[in-house]
A and B are shown apart, each in its own frame.
Chain A
Amino acid sequence: MTSSAVIWGVIGFLLTVMILSYLIRDSLFFRLATYLLIGLTAGYLVVLLVNRVLLPQLIWPMGAASWSQRLWLLIPILLAGLLLVGQIPRLALLSKIPLAYLAGLSAAVAIGGAVFGTLVPQGQAVLDTFDPYRIYADPQLVWMRILDAGVMILGVVGTLSYFHFGQPLQETKRKRAEDRPQILQVFSKIGEGFLGITLGAVFAGVFSTALLALIDRIAVIGGMLGQFLGGL
């Protein structure tokens, strides 16, 4: 093992112990380690944004561009300038121009993605479960495919119904919710069950990921202790 690997290993070991000390109690070591992480990451992010975004997108093309091309590049520079100047409280209004630009871009990207990337394909997938070619593709499993299709439509409609009623109801609104069509209330209850199943699977997944992180840290600590004890 090289000396640099040993040094980084010891640093990683110490930082791990400092963070895991939180399991006993919130201590100064835990806070120091987290602040160290935030500081280093923030500095790195500045370097990254400048080196990987602003320089290649804005500065370097400016040097190589013709005069007409430079006029085009002035627009993002102007917008960025407005964003910076807008940090002065008296001139905050100016920053709303680039923010309006970003809002329009983000909203449109989100709408396009949601509609064409999720709503249409997933809706189509629900309908596809009722495709006769799919249902009768394997004669041995027709009943299973029909059951699958029924559960799919019931679960999706139920989950959407549950979203509708899932908000915490104020006392005054409760009566209004009860006045809604009973069929929707029934679907909402069914959806609650399906949502619970999905969230349970997500919970197991999140725990798995966190568990693997714990395993990794125990492996690092154990490995480091083993090296120290073996070297004594």
Chain B
Amino acid sequence: MAYLICPECGAHNPLEEEQCRICQASLVGVEAVDEPPSPEEPLEDQNPFEAEEHDLSDLLQGLKLDDDFEIDPQGLPEIHLDDGAGEGEQDRTPEWLDAVRKRAQEEEDSVGDLIRRVESAQESVASEGKGQHNDFESWLQKLRDEARDKAAGSAPKPEPPGEPPGEPPAGLPGEPSAETPETPEPVEPVSEPEPEPAADEPGDSDWLTRIRKAHGIIDPEDGPNAASRSLLDWLVALEDNPPEEEEEGGLSDETQQIATGFEKLPMDITRQIRVALEPKLTPQALTLSREEREQADLLSTLIADEKVARPIAQRSYRVGVQWINLLFLLILVAGIGLALFSGGTASLAQPQPSAGGTALVNWVAGLPADASLLLVFDYQPAYASEMAQVAAPILTGLAERGVEIEVASSAASGPLLADALLAGIGDGLAYTDRGYYPMASYGAYGLATGLATGETAPGLPEPTLGLLAGDYDGLLILSDSFEGAQTWIEQLSARSPETPLGILATSQAAPLLQPYFDSGQVVGGVSGYSDAVALAGERGNSAEVLPRWRAYQVGGLILVAALLLGAVFTPAPRTSPRKRGGR
């Protein structure tokens, strides 16, 4: 059967799904994969839950493996899903599972309660089921005799030689029946006699096994657990409130076969079975709420993950994308290196300054000589290189005009960066440190409040460093991110709109700050590296920035090439399953 395997969570999805049913990730472009069992390790062995009974609720599937559960002395179920696992492997239970088990033992929530219910059901099935078999021994013998008597006149009909043992006989429909097991209609008695069981088969005493064998439902190769599993299949078939999946998608094939086989039994035998079974089964039935069922499914999935190898999607491509990536990276690094160290004066083009950049230069040029300006450092050390180039034209202009500079920081490294940056402007730009504000919004709000009121609370102690109450002629925000600059713009626009505000921002912050330039909330700003290079060119400093500008052009062109080539030569993705989670 073909599936779409979610590239995010590895869940199986039907072919028609566009989004993963589990994590909602897009399945567009994901190729369908068949789920063939690998030659050396059949899929049923990897994950018995998925292989043939995926329509059943996980809880009931878990219950079916009653022989794999043992009651641990501490009262917790020790789950062995992999019969081949050694003791050493069982000891290496992951911490998360230990935590789940511990929680189930100690806590009273629904998950713990659910596990206890499962546990009690396990015990109940183990003990009562065994007792039933013993009690029914004579009754089963009677049934056998009756069946022999009815079939005495007709010869045994051997199974067609070419038919695989697991296939249902021709008399059993392969398609799911719309009828539920609760309302069986009378059918013709089965004409074929039950084959004599082999004396050495351990499940011979189990009447359900025999019924299933008679109809080709059960594989004779099944181990000793087949009997108890089939008992639980009956539980599934007789469930009063079948899970929603069954209501919507129909019963699983095996359950259908059991149900159909049940209907094909003589009416009186069916009635006897029902009468004999129903009172015994009632105490074992679990009544689960929807929430509990979901939690059980989750728990079951987690447990199944512990040791069972599951195929999950791993993207791979027809062309080695990693090699293409590496090739582009090498081209990028080599191009930048050549542009930086090759020397020469050539570059592709000289940028033009933006309107905001020109406006800020003009505003600085118009400041009075005794103006006081507050610089707010709101960028991280990673952006120091770009910010130095973005700020250089404006700070040089300020130094030339002899403007009084004060500095506040809303980034932790702001005081250090301010010191390093201003020391490199001309002969060093003198400034007064006005402190550090651990949250940009508080710093901006405090500054705006100080500017608006111009005083601190009367009768209160004056902070030594703290309130940015001052009569500034303007503010310059040096920011590496849109959010940082936006905080300052918002607070100052809201509380002190008459204070001129300029922005020196990195290339990444510039696009989303454009609306503030456009609305007039900001008098101007140098937005990004190309703007800085353009302004440096106007100041006659092109030669200083040329090597890096050339390297930037090379890198930018490689990005454009990558975008276009990536679109033109899009390799079709294919998914191949890889195993994960096995030990």
Contact = CB atoms under 8 A, between A and B. Distances in A.
Interface of A: 23, 41, 44-45, 48-49, 52-53, 55-57, 60-62, 64-65, 68-69, 72-73, 105-106, 109-110, 112-118, 121-122, 124-125, 128, 168, 170-171, 198, 201-202, 204-216, 218-219, 222, 226
Interface of B: 19, 24, 329, 332-333, 336-337, 340-341, 382-383, 385-386, 412-413, 415, 435-436, 438, 441-442, 444-445, 459-466, 480, 486-487, 489-495, 506-512, 515, 518-521, 528-530, 547-548, 551-552, 555-556, 559
B487 A222 contact: no
B341, B386, B459, B530: residue with the most chain A Cβ atoms closer than 10 Å = B386
Given A48-B415, A198-B511, A213 B386 contact: yes
A208 B415 contact: no
B341, B413, B461 interface centre (most CB from chain A within 10 Å): B461
Contact of B529 (A55, A168, A170, A208): A208
Contacts, number: 164
A121 B521 CA distance: 8
B507 A208 contact: yes
Contact of B436 (A48, A110, A213): A48
Given A45-B412, A207-B559, A209-B508, A56 B435 contact: yes
A114 B506 CA distance: 23
B508 A117 contact: no
9 contacts: A57-B463, A65-B461, A109-B441, A113-B444, A124-B519, A125-B520, A204-B559, A205-B509, A208-B508
Given A56-B464, A207-B559, A213-B385, 18 more contacts: A56-B466, A57-B466, A61-B461, A62-B461, A69-B459, A112-B491, A113-B441, A113-B490, A118-B486, A121-B493, A122-B519, A202-B508, A205-B509, A206-B508, A209-B506, A212-B507, A213-B382, A216-B386
Given A113-B441, A218-B333, A205 B507 contact: yes
The 9 nearest A-B residue pairs measured at CB: A117-B490, A116-B494, A113-B490, A61-B461, A208-B507, A125-B519, A56-B465, A216-B385, A56-B464
A214 B555 contact: yes
A211 B465 contact: no
A208 B528 CA distance: 8
B529 A212 contact: yes
Given A209-B386, A215-B336, A114 B463 contact: no
User: Would you call the interface of chain A mostly helix, strand, loop, or mixed?
Assistant: helix
Nearest to A66: B461
A171 to B, nearest CB: 8
B579 to A, nearest CB: 23
B511 A205 contact: yes
B542 to A, nearest CB: 17
Contacts of B333: 214, 218
Contacts of A72: 459-461
A64 B528 contact: no
B552 A211 contact: yes
B301 to A, nearest CB: 20
Nearest to A112: B494
Contacts of B515: 122, 125
B536 to A, nearest CB: 14
B489 A117 contact: yes
Contacts of B435: 52-53, 56
A224 B559 CA distance: 27
A219 B386 CA distance: 13
A118 to B, nearest CB: 6
Given A117-B491, A207-B559, A52 B461 contact: no
B337 A202 contact: no
A168 B333 CA distance: 39
A219 B548 contact: yes
A4 to B, nearest CB: 14
A65 B329 CA distance: 61
A215 B555 contact: yes
Contact of A212 (B385, B462, B491): B385
Contact of B556 (A48, A55, A208): A208
A65 B1 CA distance: 81
Contact of B461 (A73, A168, A170, A213): A73
A23 B329 contact: yes
A81 B336 CA distance: 54
A160 to B, nearest CB: 14
A189 B413 CA distance: 43
Contacts of B466: 56-57
Contacts of A226: 341
B552 A215 contact: yes
